[in-house]
Each structure stands twice: as C-alpha cells, then as structure tokens.
Amino acid sequence: MNGLGGGAGLAVGLYLAAILGVGYAARRRRSGESLAEFYLAGRQLTGPVLLLTLYATQYSGNTLIGYPGEAFRLGFSWVMSVGFMMAIIVVYLCFAPQLHRLARRHEFVTPGDWFTHRFRSPALTLLANLLLVAAIANYLLAQLMAMGHITAGLSGGTVPYWVGVVLLTLVVLVYETVGGMRAVAWTDTLQGLMLVVGLTGLLVAASATPAHLATVTEWIAIEAPEKVAVPGWDVCRNWVSTLVLIGFSGAVYPHAIQRIYAARDSAALRRSFSVMVFLPIVTTGSVFLVGILAIEQLAGTGPIEPDQVLPLLLTQWGENSPILYALSLLVIVAVVSAIMSTADSVLLSLSSILAKDVLGTTILRGADEARLTQAGKFLSWGLVAGLVGIALVPRITLWGLTELKMEILAQVAPLFVLGVSWDRLTTRAALTGMTTGTLVYAGLLLSGHSQLWNFHAGVVALGVNLAVCITMSRLDPEAAPA
Amino acid sequence: MAGHTHSTMNRAPRHARGFPGWVWAVYLLLFAASIPWYIPADAPLRLWLGLPHWVVISLVATLGVAVFTVVVIRRFWPNEEPD
C-alpha cells in the first residue's frame, strides 16, 4: 500500500501545532506550582471540559485501532464492546459521588490519597500503587505502540514506526510539562471533538447504511458463518467476563479517578456522566460497524493482523475518491487525537503517583509542593524514555496489552467500590483480598490459564478478591455496624 | 501497617450512602438482556436494519442501560449532606 501521502502528514502536522498552542495557552492560566494546580487543574473542571477529557481519555488508540480489528476477527459478537464501555459508567455510580465529595473535603490529589485516608495502611497503599503503576505503564506502552502503528500504516511505511513513536511522544511531553492537567484537559477537549468528527467521517466513508450492512451481513453469513451466528454459551460466558473486567477496571483508571477529584462540583460530574453513558453507542458502536464492514472489504487481501485493519481501510478509501480521501484524513487526526489524549492523561497520572506517593513519602519527604511537581516532570521524561525503548520492539497486539492492564487494575477496584460504599470493609480484609487476588491472577497466568471456563483470569481473581474482602470483614467482630 | 483494622481506619461516609438497592437489580436485568444467552444458537439468520436480529436486541438493551442511567443520575444522585 502507498498510504495517504502528504495530505495525512499535513493534517497531522496542523493538528500537532494546534495542540501545542493549546498547551501553551493553558500554561498562561496556571496559578502557582501546587500539586492540585498541576495535576488537577486547580479542581476547576466544568461540565463540558470534564466530559470531553473523560471521553478522550477513556477512548484510546486501542478503541480506534484495536476494536475494529477485534470486530474483524470475531464478527458480530464484538457488539459486546458497546456494553462493556457503558459498564464503566455504571461502576462509577457505585463510588464516584461520594469519592468526589471526600476528595474536595480532604484535598486528595492521587488515588493513593484515598487509600491512605480510608485504610491508613502504608502496606496497602504501596501495593495498590504498585498495581496501578504496573497497569497504567502498560497502558501508556500500548499508546506509544499505537502511535508507531498509525504513523507507519498510514504513510505506507514512508514514515517508520519508530519516528511515529518518538515524534508524537515528544509533543505530548512538551505540552504536558508546560501546562499540567489544564493543558491535558484542554487538549483533550480538542481531541474529544476531533474524535466525534472523525467517527462521523468513519461512518460516512464506510457507508454504514442498513442496505449496505444487509449486503455485507449476508456475504459474511456465507463466507464466514461463525461470525454471524448467535453466540454459544462459551462466548456468552466470555461476554459476561468482559463486562465485569472492563466495567470494574475502566472505572478505576488512576487518571479517571483524578478527573473525579478535579470536577468543580457534583453537578459537573452528573452532567458529564449523563452524556458519557451514551458515547459507547456512538464511539464503540461506530468502530464495531467499521470492523464488520472490513470483513468483506478486506477479503482477499491476505492474512491481516487485527491492528492493521483500520490503517488498511483508510488507505483503500483514500485511493477511491477525493471526498473519501478527505474523510480519511479526518479519521487519521481523530485516531492520533485518541492516542495522544490517553497517553497524556496516563502519563500525568503516573507522574503524580510517583512524585507524591513514592518520592513524597521517601527521599523527598517534607519537600514543598513546587519541588514535588518539578520532580514529577523529570520522572515523566525518564519513564517515557524507558517505555519508548520497549515500544520500539513490540511483541504483543494492542488488545493483548489492554487485557493484561485491565486484569491487574481489577484487583484494585474493591478499594474504591467496596471502600466507598461499604463501611464494614476492614483494612486487613482489603489488603488480604487484593494480595490474594493478585497472586491468583499471577498464578493462573503463569500456569498458562489466561481464561478459566471462558472467564478471564483477572475476573476469577477479582471474584476471589471480593470474596476474601467480604468474608473477612463479616467475620471481624469489631467491624460490626456501630 | 497491614495490621491496622477498622478501629484506626476511616469508615466509608455514613451519609449519602449511594443509590437504592433496586437500581442495581435493574442494571443486572438490562445487562443480562444485552447478552444473547436466551436466543437459541441455531436460530436462523434474520436481518433487522441490516444486522443480525440478536445484535439489534443486544444494542436495544444496551441503550436501555444508558437511558436508565440518566434517570438514576437525575432522580437518585446521593444528596450532598454535611458529616
């Protein structure tokens, strides 16, 4: 393939210049160097900005590159992706209203601040932070890989994978370092809007009309009937497992937790959730349809890696007509937006955890907030340098990375879901549950059981984790209701 | 310290504990309806809006989750009460 040529480079170049400008504007609005100012935009995120930053953060490069690939590979059962993205909002309802209020009252900055406030156990906070860092470093790695894939795929290999990784990462680092959360939230707003525009372009380019869909569905029913058939019990069990896994894990992303902290008031949170709950239908629903349409369109292209489905489609559309070429450019900018908006949020969150919860409690104990903020910026650059090194030698697909990250995050979910909503949860039970869940997950993974009876190992481990939390808390006589 | 128990920890806030219990039961039903476990695996292919009928049923149930969530947020969002 030849890629989309200079037009794609120009579109992405203009977009990168625009977000650097937005990042600079955000820097001018900063007031001081406090941790809450840098990492939570002074706790002043209003409804529309909060919505778009949550949206742009939650929908990553994996959504636009990995999900069409999964629909292409699995067929119509990938409609589960609409439900599991919605499950995240439902899980938010278990704890976000109360957590937002507590965060403002007690000035939480990191997820670790909640753990420390609720459980008062350094061991628990340390283990939970380790799991969060492992999971989101993995997530950041997935975004860096996505930067390389999209650049190489869309330029037809003219711009090498490594150039995409390094160039886009540098842009993220620059605007994040100068503007902190405010720059991230503002650029996310722009990126969220680009995502909506790009998805519209995607649907138009794919001509996802009922008539076209009917033709394609009938074609798939003949050529690959297993992709159209009503899912059997094995797929249904995996569907349940994926709903639980993504629902619980996606709701406790550290960067999402910090957006709950950063909301200006509960009205902003309510308005954001009320709109966000519909966005899976628009977003994952669209990429699902595109992946389905690709089954017919890319037939005869030879073996295709799932992550290459969207770049291949865009290239084919771009060759068909000037209008489709223009729509493809919109989609490219949306994909780059989705990747960068997730990468910047994850990086900022990682930096805050390492600066405040790790350095701030060890070698920089007692340091003022400006110094911790500065240390966090340096850590970001060091951390990214290491991850770029790994991203340059990819060995796993984007969806594979996502599942690993989600299954680790799931073991921390009870600290939020039960910790906020159930006052009988004891520290000993929470710590034992999280440790047991993590060990069960690691044991299953190492013994080659990534799934048990079609349930993800991480979901089985979460079940054990929750059972331990509830049983130990109920058996503790001192934890009885007052 | 790992040995800390409830006596030194902060319990979850007692006020504004969350949404009513029946809300979660409705969610369970809606999500259960979004998974086509109740449709026979050998059902013949029927197209609704160009999609297999079980996909449309799943999407309608999922849309139900979204609409119900808006109702829950508007009517049952935990009140902000002082400690």
The answer to the question of residue B9 being in a domain is no
User: Min CA distance, A267 vs chain B (Å)?
Assistant: 10
Chain centre distance of CA A98: 23
Token pair, residue A349, equals: 């969150």
Could you tell me if A279 and B75 are in contact, meaning their C-beta atoms sit under 8 angstroms apart?
Answer: no
Provide the whole-model pTM: 0.90
Phi, then psi, of A455 in degrees rounded to 5? -95, 135
- Give the Cα separation of A388 and A392 in Å (integer): 6
A232 contact B CB<8A: yes
B73 contact A CB<8A: yes
CA-to-CA dists, residue B80 to A49, A100, A251, A416, B76, angstroms: 23, 11, 22, 19, 12
pLDDT at B71 over 60: yes
Rg (CA), chain B: 20
How many structural domains compose chain B?
Answer: 1
Query: Residues A8, A13, A16, CA angle at the centre, nearest 5°?
Result: 125
A32: left (phi over 0), alpha (psi -120 to 50) or beta: left
The answer to the question of residue B12 being in a domain is no
Q: What is the pLDDT of residue B1?
A: 36
Token pair, residue A303, equals: 């073996």
Mean pLDDT in chain B? 84
Token pair, residue A46, equals: 């209003």
Q: Which residues of chain A have pLDDT under 50?
A: 1, 482
Non-local (6+) Cβ contacts of A81 within 8 A are A67, A70, A71, A280, A284, A287, A288
Q: What is the pLDDT of residue B2?
A: 38
Selected residue of B1, B6, B57, B80 to mutate for chain A interface (largest A Cβ count, 10 A): B6
Q: What is the pLDDT of residue A309?
A: 87
The answer to the question of residue B8 being in a domain is no
**CB-nearest partner of A421 from B12, B39, B43:** B12
**CB-nearest partner of B2 from A80, A209, A428:** A428
**CB-nearest partner of B45 from A216, A221, A278:** A221
- Give the Cα separation of A67 and A373 in Å (integer): 36
The verdict on a CB contact (< 8 Å) between A273 and B69 is yes
The answer to the question of residue B38 being in a domain is yes
User: Residue for token digits 């990995």?
Assistant: A66
- Give the Cα separation of B70 and B51 in Å (integer): 27
Q: Decide: helix, strand or coil at residue A456.
A: strand
The answer to the question of residue B55 being in a domain is yes
User: Min CA distance, B33 vs chain A (Å)?
Assistant: 11
Pairing assessment for the beta strands A451-452 and A455-456 based on DSSP bridges: antiparallel
- Give the Cα separation of A416 and A425 in Å (integer): 11
Non-local (6+) Cβ contacts of A357 within 8 A are A110, A112, A113, A125, A129
- Nearest in space to A421 (alpha carbons), one of B18, B77, B1: B18
If you measure CA to CA, which chain B residue comes closest to A271?
B73
Range of the domain at B33: 20-83
- Nearest in space to A445 (alpha carbons), one of A461, A463, A457, A435: A457
The answer to the question of residue B1 being in a domain is no
CA-to-CA dists, residue A93 to A58, A396, B20, B35, angstroms: 16, 33, 11, 22
Percent of chain B past pLDDT 90, that is, above it, reads 64
pLDDT at B6 over 70: no
Phi, then psi, of A396 in degrees rounded to 5? -150, 155
**CB-nearest partner of B12 from A240, A419, A476:** A419
Selected residue of A93, A217, A273 to mutate for chain B interface (largest B Cβ count, 10 A): A93
> pLDDT digit string (tens) for B14-57?
545 689 999 999 999 999 999 999 999 888 889 999 999 999 99
Q: What is the mean pLDDT of residues B56-83?
A: 89
- Give the Cα separation of A64 and A90 in Å (integer): 22
- Nearest in space to A87 (alpha carbons), one of A231, A279, A277: A277
CA-to-CA dists, residue A241 to A256, A332, A406, A429, A454, angstroms: 22, 32, 12, 24, 8
User: CB A477: neighbour CB atoms within 10 A?
Assistant: 6
User: Which chain A positions have a beta carbon within 8 Å of B58's beta carbon?
Assistant: 79-80, 82-83
CA-to-CA dists, residue A333 to A10, A58, A161, A165, A245, angstroms: 10, 17, 17, 15, 30
The answer to the question of residue B6 being in a domain is no
Residue B52's DSSP bridge partners are: B47
The answer to the question of residue B78 being in a domain is yes
The verdict on a CB contact (< 8 Å) between A230 and B72 is no
Q: Decide: helix, strand or coil at residue A263.
A: strand
Residue A263's DSSP bridge partners are: A45
